[in-house]
Structure 1
Amino acid sequence: MYRILISGYYGFNNIGDESILRAVVDNLQDRLEDIDITVLSQDPVSTGEKYGVKSVNRKSVKSIIRAVRQCDLLISGGGSLLQDVTSKKSIIYYLLIMWMAQFFRKNIFIYSQGIGPINSAVNRKLTARTLSNVSGIVVRDEASKEFLAEIGLPRNKIAVTADPVLRIKPAPLEMGEKILSEEGIEISREKLTVGFAIRERKQDSEFIDELCIAVERLVEEYDAQIVLIPFHYSEDVTVIDELERRLGNMVCSIKHKYLTDEMLSIIGNMDVLIGVRLHALIHAAIMDVPMIAISYDPKINSFMKSIGMKAMCSIYDFNNEDFMDEFNKTMINKEVLKKRVQEKVGLLNQALDTNEQMIKELMVK
């Protein structure tokens, strides 16, 4: 039995990170034999039940040390764990887990992770020193590889694949239809349904002001039905409340938390998805839904580039005029865009085999 310990941002009700865990666990179990998986989680009981794995508390030092000592391989990832923009402390946490594994002479594998931005010079040095001693590095985009090369890691030791969530299978649309109905949202096939997955912590930002105008125009010019979708529930519900306060009955929203397949199906029932959340955009790609990306982080730009598209703008230069121009173009070219994304996703899925191939080699050694 080969024992694998997975470290990441799990158990926090962030549908993006939970989708990553779903994909990683499924990929490992589908492609590797005789393995035992343990996950470090904020909510070990829920994680164990959802994914059929062992799970320990990611805040319990004793539990972490025990889990690291007992494992054969530590997997760090996926997601954006090694960055210090959204949190200056979390990068030290994830490096510390790797330091423990190195102390106990365990194999360490970076699994299709997005690396950076790392602004602190100290954190850059710590990251470079730590990753120089791991057993394998796979990143999800070229930008992550370039960043690692910039801080001193050899390019030939870094493989590039894609976000593991891309490998999740599409979900049946009927599931999402039922959920939306239970949420009081009746999808009319005679109306254009536009989903918004928004990330914004400032409720009085210019981005929110312009976004409200854009929604009003969609309703007026397209008679669109607007659905607000929280991807990181605890964070996104605040901005959704603000949009509902300003826009009233022009919008409706998802009020409850859902699992990966359920969220995939909800997204699949949209005609267009407007995404600030990376994994909302990835869900749209999986479900063959045309999308418009608004970037708040380089990872959005990297993903859109990987599927042959571009983010229309960032949250800092968003305006309703440019948005409506982009929306009109998306509606006109939606079939061409869908075909392009399908082809790119197929190629990225093939590249994801690299993770398990490299882990198999470690298992043999």
Structure 2
Amino acid sequence: MGTKNKILISGYYGFDNSGDDAILRAIVNDLNNNIENVEITVLSKNPSYTEKVYKINAVNRFNIKAVIETIKSCDLFISGGGSLLQDVTSTRSLLYYISLMRMAKFFNKKVMVYANGVGPINGRMNRIWTRRILNKVDLITLRDEDSRIFLEELKVDNENIYVTADPVFTLNPTKPDKVINILKKESIPENKPLVGVSLRNWRDSDNLVVNMAKAIDHIVEKQNVNVILIPMHYPEDLEISNKVLDKVNNNSTYVLSNKYSVEDIMGIIKKLEMIIAMRLHSLIYAASQGIPMVGIVYDPKIEGFLKSVDMDYMCPAEGIEHQNLIEKIDIVWSNREKLKKNLAKLDEHMKKEALKNTYMAKELLEK
């Protein structure tokens, strides 16, 4: 059998967030499929759940002693993917991820920043600490060009920086028959074309709810569709989805009320004609399945991703106006067949780019 290649992965795992769950699923699949004799351990908020779902080892991310011991025994420390290195959420989370990388380097471990979206980082000391650790790690792959530009502005001079793609592009959706059963279980009819909406709480969320409800009423009346509100992070997204449902004036809007796997959500999105979405990975799921989209921008990463896939149809989350949103929805709806073809071509390219993360991790492990 030979010696195990021990890889430790750090990220926002075990928090019931579909986007981060998708990242972990993709990374684990790709590492298992491309590296022989690999043993993967993940730092998770919910280790027992992570072990059960992903069939890997997991350690409580808040158990400092266990984390240190696991770092000491690994061959490669992976930070990512996702938006770990930013201080919009909090300085505390940024320092947590920086500290883990510093610890790994202290124990002379190979460290890879894996398909990260980096920034914004606004605090002066936060920028200094981030630059210092990123100059010390062995390899950095980034999911978008905006992150590379941000590292230039941060004056990170690590020679091993590459723009690839989000790992989620390598995932495959659930089979159609299972998706049909899910829709039946949720009492969502398939008698009309389906349009998806995926929202999260943000500043000015009351205004967002009112204007999204008006936009949904518009598309239901004008295009004769059914609308599915798709939560990505439980329970927060379910709450705002239900608020929108309470505001709409039609009987063709439904909430996906139960929690589903990453692959299931991808399969559901694949059945849509288009999606209006806030969370990055709802947009990535759509792009990977060739589904046109309108983005609701609450963070620069949303705008950056939409531009990277040539889907320049977006509205700001704060101060959103339903007329502006309706205008974007109508454009995407009218051009959806052409947009689907463009996205299908792009998806093949993004899959190849996403797999480069794994190939580079393998090369680093073998050095």
The TM tier, using the shorter chain, reads over 0.9
Shift of 1:100: 1.2
1:187 aligns with 2:194: no
2:306 aligns to what? 304
Give 1:130's aligned residue: 133
Matched, 1:219 2:223: no
Partner of 2:41: 38
Q: 1:10 aligns with which of 4, 9, 13?
A: 13
**Structure 1: where are the runs of 5+ without partners?**
none
CA contact (8 A) 2:213 2:245 kept: no
Q: In structure 2, what is the Cα distance between the partners aligned to 1:201 and 1:235?
A: 10
Q: Which residue of 1 aligns with 2:344?
A: 342
Residue of structure 1 in register with 2:269 after alignment: 267
Q: Secondary structure of the equivalent of 1:352?
A: helix
1:332 Cα deviation (Å)? 2.0
Asked if structure 2 preserves the Cα contact closer than 8 Å seen for 1:111 and 1:139, the reply is: yes
Q: In the alignment, is the contact (CA less than 8 A) between 1:42 and 1:59 conserved in 2?
A: yes
Whole-angstrom CA distance in 1 between matches of 2:273 and 2:257:
20
1:246-261 matches, cutoff 5 A: 246-247=247-248, 249-261=251-263
Structure 2 length-normalised TM: 0.95
* Pairwise CA distance, 1:169: 1.8
SS at match of 1:85: coil
Give the 3 Å change call, closer, same or farther, for CA 357–193 of structure 1 in structure 2.
closer
Q: Which residue of 1 aligns with 2:117?
A: 114
| 8 A Cα contact 2:197 2:228, kept in partner | yes
1:70 aligns with 2:73: yes
Instruction: Give, in whole Å, the separation in 1 of the partners of 2:134 and 2:21.
Output: 24
- C-alpha separation between the residues in 2 aligned to 1:136 and 1:352? 15
- The amino acid of 2:201's aligned partner reads E
Aligned-residue offset at 1:261: 1.0
Selected match of 2:144 from 141, 145, 161: 141
Distance 2:323 2:89 in 1: 30
Structure 1 Cα separation of the partners of residues 5 and 319 of structure 2: 49
Evaluate the alpha carbon distance shift between residue 101 and residue 196 of structure 1 in structure 2; reply closer, same or farther with a 3 A threshold. Answer: same
Distance 1:228 1:132 in 2: 42
**Paired residue type of 2:208:** F
Aligned length: 363
User: How far did 1:325 drift?
Assistant: 2.1
Task: Look up the match of 1:170.
Answer: 173
Q: What TM-score do the two structures reach when normalised by structure 1?
A: 0.95
Q: For residue 161 of structure 2, what is the aligned residue in structure 1?
A: 158
Q: Indicate if the aligned counterparts of 2:91 and 2:126 stay in contact, CA closer than 8 A.
A: no
Offset of residue 163 of structure 1 = 0.8
AA at the equivalent of 2:232: F
Alpha-carbon distance in structure 2 between the residues aligned to 1:126 and 1:66: 24
Q: Identify if the C-alpha distance between structure 1 residues 54 and 306 changes in structure 2 by more than 3 Å, giving closer, same or farther.
A: same
Residues 94, 311 of structure 1: alpha-carbon distance in 2 compared, 3 angstrom cutoff: farther
In the TM superposition, what whole-angstrom CA distance separates every residue of 1:121-169 from its partner, at most 9, and x where no partner exists?
1111000001111010000011101111111112743100111101112
Alignment check: 8 A CA contact 1:128 1:152 kept = yes
Amino acid at match of 2:304: S
Q: Which amino acid aligns with 2:267?
A: S
One-letter code aligned to 2:287: A
Structure 2 match to 1:235: 236
Structure 2 segments unaligned to the other structure (5+ residues):
none
SS of 1:327's equivalent? helix
User: Do the aligned residues in 1 keep the contact of 2:131 with 2:155 (CA within 8 Å)?
Assistant: yes
Q: Find the aligned partners of 2:87 and 2:248 in 1 and give their Cα distance.
A: 35
Question: In structure 2, what residue type is equivalent to 1:206?
Answer: N
Indicate the residue corresponding to 1:363 in structure 2. 365
* Residues 14/318 of structure 1: CA separation in 2 closer, same or farther (3 Å cut): same
Deviations 1:278-326 (CA, angstroms, capped at 9, x unpaired):
1111111222222211211111112112212224221124322222222
Q: Which residue of 2 aligns with 1:314?
A: 316
Deviation for aligned residue 1:203 = 6.8
Question: What is the Cα-based RMSD across aligned positions, in Å?
Answer: 1.6
